[in-house]
Amino acid sequence: MKGYIFSVGGPSRPPDILKAGLFGVWQNTKERKDETKYWGPNQLATFADYLTISPGDLIFFFKERKIYGVAEAVGIDNDAGSFCAYLNYPESYKPDPPQPSDGIITEGEWSSVRVALPFVPSPVIYSEGIDMDEALTGIESSFFWGLRYWEGFSFQELSWEEAMFLKKRMLIRFGHNHEMSPNREQDTLIEYVEKQKPFGQLSLWDLLKSDEPEYINESGELKSEALLHGLLIEHLKKSHLKPLSEAKSFDIYHELACSPPKPTTYVDKLDIMVARHFDESLRQPYRYDVLEVKKAAIPETKSRSIDGKQKSIKLTFEEQTSQLMKYVDFISSNWCAGNYGAVKSYLIGKLYEDDFKTKFKEARDQAKTFTRTYVLNPREGKEAHKRWDSLELLQYDVDCEHEEINLTNAHVD
């Protein structure tokens, strides 16, 4: 279980939204010179963010310095995956859908709301909010990355600890004061979004298959990394993390901040992180999978300025792996108390050149580049020094017919 905080703009009031039990952010399309509409990378990333939300995740709202809550997302939770993102109207995933006549959310400029998120009190919703300074005061809050790096986005993921801390703060602050009753109980709300307004769940496979030449080239390479992120998230949730590992209970984070305090423009963000839970009843994270995702072949080709001219050059092995290792170091230090053994990492690309695989094997065998040595208990004698080299190279293949992202090992001997 983790959390999300949504920014509320215009005349909308967070208490009214909490009572309604439904919310969705505006997603505006871009337009080409020929007037065709398309999704930009930020809006595709927003779809991916929606797909990370699971039933039970805590929901908060923010407006004019105050945070409001406490709600929890509801939706589908079965062997086919756990999702809470409902299409607001038919084909609302398309950049230029048919003109809608009805929707789940129908207030204001509702056609700009492409996804509807349902939620219920957890355990109560309040008509009052707490000031941001109050929310970020205390020893625990110094480790919160979500709230501290939230700027310029319609909503932000919060860690399990961060979400629980906000919930605790609100319960202590208000107790049984300022409680509100929701407009619909959970069963009625689910019936409304699934039966009365049966427009379906958000699936990026529907978007991809609606216009394959727009999103994938003839070689099978996706044209958008944000779309690849979303398809991977959807696949991992439906397959219970296969082929990474199998787990029934887990959280998925998308574009997770992995930097010490700095201006948000320069924050490094991890593409995807999976926090596996100890078991289904105790949704406490205990293992972490770090995924750096590239849509193209690896090593990537980047444009660099050389002697005053822009030239395309291939990244070296060290350049290609250094960013991923920075994320591994950060997650180990800040989420696992220095225990690298709780972290596995994956570099995912369309394919790998032979020279890159050769250098990977040399670095692994010679304990270079992506190898780490760490000590948890210095009194363990010879066993005190532990070695970490848990980096795997995976190749992706898009199977539109079966709606799957196939991840296979790059076969480094």
Place of tokens 């529907």: 206
C-alpha distance across the termini of the chain, in Å = 38
Tell me the pLDDT tens digit for each residue of 90-141.
Answer: 999 999 999 999 999 998 889 999 999 999 999 999 999 999 888 887 756 6
Amino acid at 63: K
CA distances (Å), 286 to each of 56, 275, 339, in order?
Answer: 18, 7, 11
Report the pLDDT value the prediction gives residue 141, as an integer from 0 to 100: 64
The full DSSP string for 387-412 is: EE--EEEEEEEEETTTTEEEEEE---
- Dist CA 29 CA 40 (whole Å): 7
Separation of alpha carbons 290 and 299, rounded Å = 19
Q: How many CB atoms lie within 10 A of CB 115?
A: 25
pTM here is 0.94
CATH 3.30.70.260, domain 212-409, yes or no: no
Q: How far apart are CA 206 and CA 278, in angstroms?
A: 33
Percent of the chain with pLDDT over 70: 98
- CB-CB contact of 231 with 398 (8 Å): yes
208 Rama sector, left if φ>0, alpha if ψ -120 to 50, beta otherwise: alpha
Q: Pairing state of beta strands 343-349 and 285-293?
A: parallel
The count of other CB atoms within 10 Å of the CB of residue 242 is: 12
Q: pLDDT at position 112, please?
A: 95
User: DSSP letter at 317?
Assistant: H
Q: How confident is the model at residue 142 (pLDDT cuts 50, 70, 90)?
A: low
For the chain, the C-alpha Rg in angstroms (whole number) is 22
pLDDT digit string, tens, across residues 195-253: 999 999 999 999 999 999 999 999 999 999 999 999 999 999 998 888 887 788 899 99
Q: What percent of the chain has pLDDT over 90?
A: 70
Q: Which residue has the higher pLDDT, 323 or 243?
A: 323
pLDDT of 320 above 90: yes
The residue extents of the domains of the chain are 3-202, 212-409
Give the containing element (helix H, strand E) for 30: strand 30-31
- The alpha carbon torsion through 248, 254, 259, 264 (nearest 10 deg) reads -150
Per-residue pLDDT tens over the stretch 346-403: 999 999 999 999 999 998 888 778 889 999 999 988 889 999 999 999 999 999 999 9
Mutual orientation of helices 41-52 and 225-238 as an angle, nearest 10°?
A: 10
Closest CA to 399 of 226, 200, 239: 239
The predicted structure's pLDDT at residue 3: 94
Q: Which two tokens stand for residue 68?
A: 């409001």
3-state helix, strand, coil in the chain (%, to 5): 30, 30, 40
What average pLDDT does range 74-98 have in this prediction? 92
Torsion angle in degrees (nearest 10) through CA of 225, 334, 7, 169: 160
Contacts of 45 (CB under 8 A, 6+ apart): 226, 229, 230, 254, 255
Compute the mean pLDDT over every residue in the chain, rounded to the nearest whole number.
91
Tell me: the pLDDT tens digits for 266-290? 889 999 999 998 877 777 788 999 9
Tokens coding 82 = 């756990």
Do β-strands 30-31 and 37-38 pair in parallel, antiparallel, or remain unpaired? Answer: antiparallel
DSSP assignment of 159-205? -HHHHHHHHHHHHHHHTTTTEE--SS-HHHHHHIIIIIS---B--HH
pLDDT on residue 306: 77
Query: Residue 143 — pLDDT band, cuts 50, 70, 90?
Result: low
Give CA–CA dist 354/317, Å, rounded.
Answer: 12
